[in-house]
Structure 1
């Protein structure tokens, strides 16, 4: 297995400069994240019901799912970002579209319909009784039927309209009853077959996409190939050092990779899954591995791009969206996939320090994090030399 450690500062700057000239599009499931903060010291027993109401003192809204990927792309300041998707004729759609427009996102490709419920995740948070904040059960707005044919047709028209205007098409397929229908998926695959840069993130259907760049996380990739989650069986097997024969290991065998900063374990089955997915789907695969970075393969070549330790507190919410956006934009600049992955790793490490929100990573924040990594590596190497 090869390893690509880190972009040089010069290469990082070159990528960010080129991103300013790319045109990106995203099609996918658009959601609104809502946070309602209730101060329970102000709550009084209701006269009408035997309950204490939640006195909301703060309301926050942010883009979620594909909308958050789009916001992260916009934060990298490309020449254009167009979003395609579906929303309803409701207050959640109004709020989501406003948030997206504020971020500089072109929403002309979003189809609105009364037949659609705008997806939203509403999180009531209680505070004031103690120093601890409590999150009540989430309130979800979701669709439970397939996308109506007339809306699907309009979305296909929007895809045909924008595809020749963009350098990269990003897919965020997150919901069971979302907008990436079989017909739209086939259209996306046809773009990949014609040479368009297409990067796909799909929670449950990553195996259905061919001739594109696939970006599953380790669980999604493993499940797509083996039909179950590796966490169900990982602890039943021993860990061992990596060798060239490990590509055919049984479930749970691990690759131990030594780095300058930390020692990490990559299950051999993740490697197998990535290779099988690439070969069977005639695709390139960039599988994210949480704090261990990511793994790139075209079915033959294997390149590990490590992550670097981020001091707690950390929050992984939204890190996958940030990786997807950074990786897609970097790929559109023409760099190698492992270079794009290294760029995306740095962007994701910015996000996990933003607690309680998905958030975005700006070019300035990416530069700052990249500088921190270089300084930490230099310091670590200096300490190692002193010990020898």
Structure 2
């Protein structure tokens, strides 16, 4: 599906492209603890861990942004609401260090918190994570501003990646109202590539491509499959029919199952699926952020004029690079992409 010429075409095309990222921006904060400095708390008698370093990175939609920037996308436009708080300040600082990221679509709210995953690291051991999330519905005025920013950016976006990270319904950026408005935009402009990724609501998107994994598709699509052994594949086919767009069903180390949408309502005319294999990886792997790097690869290929199957293959290639970067959320800059392509085609 891919060739060296196509890989090079993607990498030389995307510096001139604009990709939007709509969704939940998290702060990933690591607290580096030195066990040798542990001391007892005078007040409680419990061990007081001593933090010797704080590392902050954009997470959730920020991981997608980081991967787009590393690949070389020329303009990246996030659309999100974060809290007017210290975590939001750290998040904007971290985004400001990335090339090509425009922060005009990120706005602050005094009524919302910046979602944050705080990860205490006791030496190399990760202790219990501390989560800050918004657990109340997103206010109407915030939803309206997200929609206004999306409308304003839409004409200049070559593609849009949607990341619905928050499990609690309508408590994040991509609420039902935002999702429905996106469906209207995509219906009016079917040539624009939009890819949605959602932990809990992937079955509710319409008129956009979807990228679920097997758990997400099985839990989100309320429909009895034709073949119980092929539950995920059959539900992906059903979702492609419902959305009218391709579905990129990621199946771990195996492949991407890529159903095509049915062309005529109520028939199977034109339907089918392509299986796009992953690239073999040896040695230890770290799958943290693999799905986000795959999404960035897919979008980069689509804005470069490749087919959906070729885009899936490029997404797999990018993910095969990032999962080999242990202990960090990996990225795939162009030199590593070309090197990896040469490795898999020896």
TM bracket, shorter-chain basis: over 0.9
Task: Find the partner of 2:241 among 272, 279, 288.
Answer: 279
Task: Find the partner of 2:201 among 195, 200, 205.
Answer: 205
Unpaired runs of 5+ residues, structure 1, are 1-5, 128-132, 229-246, 254-267, 376-388
Unpaired runs of 5+ residues, structure 2, are 262-270
What is the aligned partner in structure 2 of residue 115 from structure 1? Answer: 111
Per the TM alignment, residue 134 of structure 1 is displaced from its structure 2 partner at its CA by: 2.4
- Secondary structure at 2:105 match in 1: strand
What is the aligned partner in structure 1 of residue 186 from structure 2? Answer: 192
Per the TM alignment, residue 373 of structure 1 is displaced from its structure 2 partner at its CA by: 0.8
Per the TM alignment, residue 227 of structure 1 is displaced from its structure 2 partner at its CA by: 7.4
Per the TM alignment, residue 280 of structure 1 is displaced from its structure 2 partner at its CA by: 2.4
What is the aligned partner in structure 2 of residue 65 from structure 1? Answer: 60
Note if contact 1:192-1:212 (Cα within 8 Å) is conserved in structure 2: yes
What is the RMSD of the two structures over their aligned residues, measured on CA atoms? 1.5
What is the aligned partner in structure 2 of residue 163 from structure 1? Answer: 154
Q: How far apart in 2 are the matches of 1:109 and 1:115?
A: 18
What is the aligned partner in structure 1 of residue 47 from structure 2? Answer: 52
Note if contact 2:259-2:272 (Cα within 8 Å) is conserved in structure 1: yes
Q: How far apart in 1 are the matches of 2:142 and 2:186?
A: 23
Task: Find the partner of 1:340 among 307, 311, 326.
Answer: 311
1:152–1:225 CA distance, 2 compared to 1 (3 A): closer
Q: How far apart in 1 are the matches of 2:287 and 2:142?
A: 34
Note if contact 2:207-2:243 (Cα within 8 Å) is conserved in structure 1: yes
Note if contact 1:191-1:198 (Cα within 8 Å) is conserved in structure 2: no
Note if contact 2:209-2:243 (Cα within 8 Å) is conserved in structure 1: no
Equivalent positions of 1:346-365 (< 5 A) are: 346-365=317-336
Q: How far apart in 1 are the matches of 2:96 and 2:20?
A: 15
Equivalent positions of 1:276-355 (< 5 A) are: 276-299=238-261, 300-355=271-326
Per the TM alignment, residue 359 of structure 1 is displaced from its structure 2 partner at its CA by: 2.8
Note if contact 2:29-2:55 (Cα within 8 Å) is conserved in structure 1: yes
The reply on whether 1:181 has 2:152 as its aligned counterpart is no
- Secondary structure at 1:123 match in 2: strand
Larger Rg: 1
What is the aligned partner in structure 2 of residue 124 from structure 1? Answer: 120
Deviation per CA, 1:115-151: give whole Å up to 9, x if none. 1100010011112xxxxx3221111111011111111
- How many residue pairs end up in the alignment? 331
Task: Find the partner of 2:31 among 33, 36, 56.
Answer: 36
Q: How far apart in 2 are the matches of 1:222 and 1:331?
A: 26
Equivalent positions of 1:347-386 (< 5 A) are: 347-375=318-346
Per the TM alignment, residue 349 of structure 1 is displaced from its structure 2 partner at its CA by: 0.8
The reply on whether 1:138 has 2:109 as its aligned counterpart is no
What is the aligned partner in structure 2 of residue 147 from structure 1? Answer: 138
Per the TM alignment, residue 154 of structure 1 is displaced from its structure 2 partner at its CA by: 1.4
TM-score (norm 2): 0.92
